[in-house]
Each structure stands twice: as C-alpha cells, then as structure tokens.
Amino acid sequence: MRLLLQPGSNTVKATIMAEFLGNADQLVSLLGKQFPELGLKKDDCKEMSWIESVLWWANYDNGTSPDVLLDRNPDHANFLKRKSDYVQTPISKSRLELVWKKMIEIGKIGLVFNPYGGMMSRIPASATPFPHRAGNLFKVQYSVSWGEAGAEAEKNYTTDTRRLFRFMTPFVSKNPRSAFLNYRDLDIGVNKFGNRSYEQGKVYGLKYFNDNFDRLVKVKTAVDPANFFRNEQSIPPHPTFNSDPPHPILHLDLNGGSSSKLSMGKLKLVLALLVFLLFLFNFVLLRFFFGRVEILVSS
C-alpha cells in the first residue's frame, strides 16, 4: 500500500494505491474490519492477473497488452530523482499542513508514503542487512521525473527535491537520518575509494544499513578485500580488519621474458574459467560418445 501525494495549484491530491493477493470480496471484508475509515467498496477494486498488475504499477492503461514491456526505445529517455526518509514519530495535523504548503510552493515534487509494521516489524533489525523495521511508521519517497535533457533541467528539478528534503528534516529519523537503499541517492555520500574509503562509506552506509553497516564491512573485507566489485556507494573493506596485502602479486614471465603482474584474485578467476571449460569439454565429449553408442545399439 502507498499514499501518493501530488501538489496542485492550491491543494495537494492524495491517492491511495495498494495490491492485495486475493479477490475483491476478501479485501473489502478485511479493510471493513481493520480500516473502516477508508470506506473501501468493491467498485474501487479491480481484479487482475500478476502480469496485469505489473502494467498497472507501471502506469499503463488497463487492458494494455503485456507485449508493451518488450518495447524498448533506446532513443527515448526519461529522467528522475528519488530520495527517501523514514518517519518514526507521528507528524501532527498542523505540521502536515505545513508540508502541504511547502509542496504547493515548490510545485513539482511528489511524496509517497509507504506504511511499515506487521511482519516487517517482527523480524529483528539485525536478521538481514535491511534494518528499517520496528520503530518505523512509514517510508517517505521524494519523487520527481522530467523529460528535458540537459544539465540545466537536471539542476532545476534536483534542487527542488533537495529543498523539500531539507524542509522535512524535523519530521524524520535522526542519528542517522535513515535512507532506503533501492532509491540510491548520491546526495547522502559518495566513496572515492582512497585512503579514507571506510570513513566515506560510513557516511552513507549508516543511513542505508544502520547498525548492520560494520557487519557488512567485515563480510566485504573477508570476501573482497581488494574491493574489485564496487560502485559509488558500495560497502568498503576495512583496512584494519586485514593488515596483510589484499592479494599476493604473482609475477609471470610472458612474451619472451617481459614481466607481467597478475593478482592472485584474478588468477583464481582464470583458473576457475579453465576448470569450467574443461568440464564443458568433457560433458560435450561424453554426450558425443554416448550418443554414438546409442545410435549403434539402435541400428
């Protein structure tokens, strides 16, 4: 379920969207008991298959063929910016009205509230890397999309998103101001992977993973100490967890005596590839041999 809030000229439009795994009668009965204030009627529901729900969430018209999902146009692009927050204490009606006024003033940025609780709150925050469970009322998504290409348009839309984000500071989680990983937001920190890689990673890592960040760093350090797999906001290895060089350097003599360096990690990948090719060759050979025997026997 999500509450979609869109600013207009002098008001904010609120739309409740939800997906229920069951039929309309079951949903109306359930919400009639647990959320009677919504006043849900069967006419408000539309029953559909799973693939039809994928089209619905993607804002296609009802009845659109799933074949549209195969329609790729590399010459067309839409641009977007997403940011996120978590609300842990209720926002009063008077403060919500301040939020609506700010949204109308800015005029472009939508908000999406996703309620938390239920089964999510029963799972301990330390059970999985995702930590945003008990204690969070709902997630906030800041959403804006545009079609014009160019740095000026990007600056215009992203600046407005950051304005609303700053305005929401008193109403959301603190120390850290938590964020949702799937809305990757480079505003909250970027890692250059230099000498201060761990410190830079901790800035965004605590917001995405809270107390699970250092546990993920230990896993990263053990599995990929050389940080071969990385992006601007990936988990960094911790230099103090592994004082040895990340990968011994193997010197190979290639091309008539010229020296070449190959890290042990890359060598392992090469050896693994050779083992796979050997297995594949043996598999094909056995299929060919037994195929020949089968033909001979049948003939």
Query: Which of 143, 171, 199 is where one domain is finished?
Result: 171
- Same domain? 43 vs 120: yes
- Separation CA 47–CA 257 (nearest Å): 71
- Separation CA 181–CA 50 (nearest Å): 25
pLDDT mean over 97-112: 96
pLDDT digits (tens, 9 = 90+) for 224-253: 999 999 999 999 999 876 544 444 444 444
Instruction: Give me the amino acid identity at 218.
Output: K
Lowest mean pLDDT among 16-30, 166-180, 202-216: 16-30
- Same domain? 25 vs 136: yes
Q: Please answer whether residues 146 and 153 qualify as being in contact, where contact means their C-beta atoms are separated by less than 8 angstroms.
A: yes
Query: Which pLDDT score is estimated for 276?
Result: 78
- Separation CA 177–CA 139 (nearest Å): 12
- According to DSSP, residue 236 is labeled P
- Same domain? 275 vs 233: no
Query: Which of 171, 201, 233 is where one domain is finished?
Result: 171
- Same domain? 55 vs 194: no
Residue 242 has a CB neighbour count (10 Å cut-off) of 13
Assigned domain for 40 exists: yes
- Same domain? 43 vs 118: yes
* pLDDT band at residue 257 under the 50/70/90 scheme: very low
- Same domain? 19 vs 131: yes
pLDDT mean over 187-192: 96
Alpha helices in 17-133 (DSSP H): 24-34, 50-57, 93-106, 119-122
Assigned domain for 72 exists: no
Query: Which pLDDT score is estimated for 282?
Result: 64
Show the tokens assigned to 176: 């850290």
Look over the chain and give the mean of its residue pLDDT values, rounded to a whole number.
Answer: 87
Query: Which pLDDT score is estimated for 13?
Result: 96
Q: What would the DSSP string read from start to end of 101-150?
A: HHHHHH-S-EEEEEE--THHHHS-TTSSS----TT--EEEEEEEEE---S
- Same domain? 200 vs 270: no
Query: Which pLDDT score is estimated for 287?
Result: 57
More confidently predicted of 279 and 97: 97
Assigned domain for 109 exists: yes
pLDDT mean over 118-124: 94
- Same domain? 33 vs 154: yes
As annotated, the active-site residues are 183
Query: Which of 109, 141, 171 is where one domain is finished?
Result: 171
Residue 128 in this model has a pLDDT that exceeds 60: yes
Query: Which pLDDT score is estimated for 177?
Result: 98
pLDDT mean over 268-296: 62
Assigned domain for 258 exists: yes
Assigned domain for 266 exists: yes
pLDDT digits (tens, 9 = 90+) for 39-66: 999 999 999 999 999 999 988 998 999 9
Beta-carbon contacts of residue 146 (< 8 Å; ≥ 6 apart): 78, 79, 80, 153, 157
Which residue range is the domain that position 158 belongs to? 2-64+77-171
Query: Which pLDDT score is estimated for 265?
Result: 66
pTM for this predicted structure: 0.76
More confidently predicted of 281 and 277: 277
Assigned domain for 176 exists: no
- Separation CA 82–CA 130 (nearest Å): 19
Query: Which pLDDT score is estimated for 272?
Result: 78
- Separation CA 114–CA 137 (nearest Å): 9
Quote the number of domains for the chain: 3
* pLDDT band at residue 286 under the 50/70/90 scheme: low
- Separation CA 272–CA 276 (nearest Å): 6
Show the tokens assigned to 252: 């190979």
